[in-house]
A and B are shown apart, each in its own frame.
Chain A
Amino acid sequence: MDAVIENLPTFLRGFGTTLALLGIAGAGALVIGTLVAAMRISPVAALRGFATVYTEILRNTPLTLVLFFCAFILPYLGVRIDFFILASIGLTAYTSPFVAEAVRSGVNGVPVGQAEAARSIGLGFGQTLGIVVLPQAIRMVVPPLINVIIALTKNTSVAGAFFVKDLFASAQDVINIRGDEVFAILISVAVFYLIITVTLGRIAAVVERRVAVLR
């Protein structure tokens, strides 16, 4: 256990980096994912097609490949950016289609009558979506979105394998110094991850119950 206590600053720094990755990639994925979802239900065929291809390609590519691309191929092609930013871009790109799918299924989950009512009183596409459908959809979308963020939390560990000093990398670093206490080190790192994921899971459960009452 003393290996963990001695190296607590390293772990906390790693935890901070993980939280930073989570914040940046989470915010980025929410924005891009919502845009992609909007494209996917838009009347313009070209945008729909683009959004579909974007979603299918990224969703069917392993995260390791995406981050490998960011960590090795982009620098190889002459991009000179800090690995932390590259990893954030990779995680954002990888997470955005999952956000898009969650948002889209939320929009599809709003009863058709709502949209019909909005249309029948003369609201246009933007108004129907903005005033009637989306406010209801967002409520249904929050629990699955939190789950996407939970998955993202766990996925940030892959960035630790590609030169980012996050929680996972800090575990590896400390293990290199203290090979005699591998078990304690790995368990405490797992606990750090569980702090984020279990908390978010609880929030999702509470929100879901609230929404269930509202509907």
Chain B
Amino acid sequence: MSNVLYDVPGPKARLRSRIASVIAVIAIAAGLAAVIWALAAPRITAGGAELPGMFDPSRWDILADRAVWRRIGVGVLNTLQMAGVAAIGAVLFGVIISFLRTAGSGWIRYPMVVVLEFLRGMPVLLMMLFVLLIFSTGAYWAGVIALILYNGAIIGEALRAGIAALPRGQREAGLAIGLGPVRTRLSIEFPQAFRQMLPIIIAQLVVLLKDTSLAYVIGYNELLRTTTNQLANYYGSRYLFTLFFVTFAIYLAMNLLLSWIARIVARRVESGRMPKGSTPFSRKAEARRARKVVDDAFATRVTDQSLGAKR
């Protein structure tokens, strides 16, 4: 699309574009340099004492300490454990929800609509606090349960949309060969819906991994609390910036990795949908489309929140 918006640039436009590029690069680099410069400058406290700048070795030397990394490792494991347990729970809960939401009886279906609206319209953080205080589960389970409820509701809606998008004949064929409605749903409709919606589900799991950091607020020792609370208290607050930076880098790496996996899965799913041997798409176009599926799924974190939004 974006290449239709403007002509293939001629020599003049190319020159102008290159000049604009250079100016933009210089502006961005200057901005970054200003930030780095400001960070590196020694700071003067209110008392007049001079503290070293943010890139001074005395602020980074703890990274040479094995114990620090072991502690960070524990924090990462705590975060991953919460994310893993919540992810499994959320997928299972999503499956159950998609069943209840499409149940034959209105007595089950309509209350589910209200419950789902409630689960998706409420902040996850408030839900964590709710579980923590009402059921006194402890911070870990409060986080896990809130994440299961919220993400399960969204995954459930995604699965429902996937089932609704299947050709009618699939269900009819299942019933025609004598499978009951439940068997048809389980062994014919469900596997297909799941496969179609896999990119969206994985993208939602990236959101889930990000949201584990909310458990910081209710006092669970996940990565952020481990570094900026425990380690910063133990080694002194002069390392706060360093520790935050390390945390940030770890989170970024984990999430980018998972997003990347989501894109690969999306590409697999997409290419599985195309007739074999007649692929009119180059690898690059395919990758671009996989990227779009995942990007859209990211937006659904978002999009799925409105009840009326039919996709």
Is B307 within 8 A of A201, CB to CB? Answer: yes
Which of A25-33, A81-89, A183-191 is the interface stretch? A183-191
Interface size on A, residues (CB 8 A): 74
List chain A residues, Cβ under 8 A from B216.
64, 68
State the CA gap A56–B6 with chains docked (Å). Answer: 25
In the complex the two chains form, what is the Cα distance from A112 to B212 in whole Å?
Answer: 40
| Majority DSSP secondary structure for residues of B touching A | helix
Q: Which residues of B have CB within 8 Å of A190?
A: 118, 122, 126, 130
Shortest CB-to-CB span from A139 to chain B, Å, is 15
In Å, the complex CA distance between A101 and B291 comes to 12
Determine the distance from Cα of A112 to Cα of B301 in the docked complex, in whole angstroms. Answer: 27
Return chain A residues, CB-CB under 8 Å to B38: 77
- Given B5, B259, B310, which contacts A128 in the complex, CB threshold below 8 Å? B5
Asked if A157 and B126 make an inter-chain contact with CB atoms under 8 angstroms apart, the answer reads yes
Given contacts A68-B244, A150-B306, contact A101 B125 (CB under 8 A): no
The reply to whether A46 and B21 contact each other, CB–CB distance below 8 Å, is yes
Q: Which label, helix, strand, loop or mixed, suits the secondary structure of the A interface?
A: helix
Separation of A156 and B125 alpha carbons in the complex (Å): 10
Instruction: Tally B residues with Cβ within 8 Å of A.
Output: 68
Given contacts A112-B4, A201-B307, contact A73 B240 (CB under 8 A): yes
Provided the pairs A44-B24, A175-B133 are in contact, do residues A77 and B54 lie with their beta carbons within 8 angstroms?
A: yes
Select from chain B the residue with minimum beta-carbon distance to A56: B256
Q: Of all chain B residues, which has the CB nearest A59?
A: B298
A55–B36 Cα gap in the complex (Å)?
21
Cβ of B54 to closest chain A Cβ, rounded Å = 7
Taken residue by residue from 44 to 68, chain B's Cβ proximity to chain A (1 for < 8 Å, 0 otherwise) reads as: 0000000000100000000000000
Residue ID in chain A nearest B118 by CB atoms: A194
Select A161's contact among B4, B21, B217, B302, beta carbons within 8 Å.
B217
Once bound together, how far apart are the Cα atoms of A125 and B4, in whole Å?
A: 9
Q: Report if A138 contacts B (CB, 8 A).
A: no
A68 touches B118 (CB 8 A): no
User: Does A194 contact B122, Cβ atoms closer than 8 Å?
Assistant: yes
Smallest distance from the beta carbon of B259 to chain A beta carbons, Å?
7
A140 in contact (CB, < 8 A): no
CA distance A190 to B298 in the complex (A): 25
Task: Indicate if A148 sits at the interface (CB-CB under 8 A).
Answer: yes
Contact assessment for B306 and A201 in the assembled complex, using a CB-CB cutoff below 8 Å: yes
User: 12 A-B pairs, CB-CB below 8 angstroms?
Assistant: A44-B20, A64-B224, A76-B237, A101-B298, A101-B299, A105-B299, A147-B299, A147-B304, A155-B123, A194-B121, A202-B306, A205-B309
Nearest 8 A-B pairs (CB), nearest first? A205-B308, A157-B123, A60-B255, A201-B306, A62-B213, A46-B24, A64-B213, A197-B121
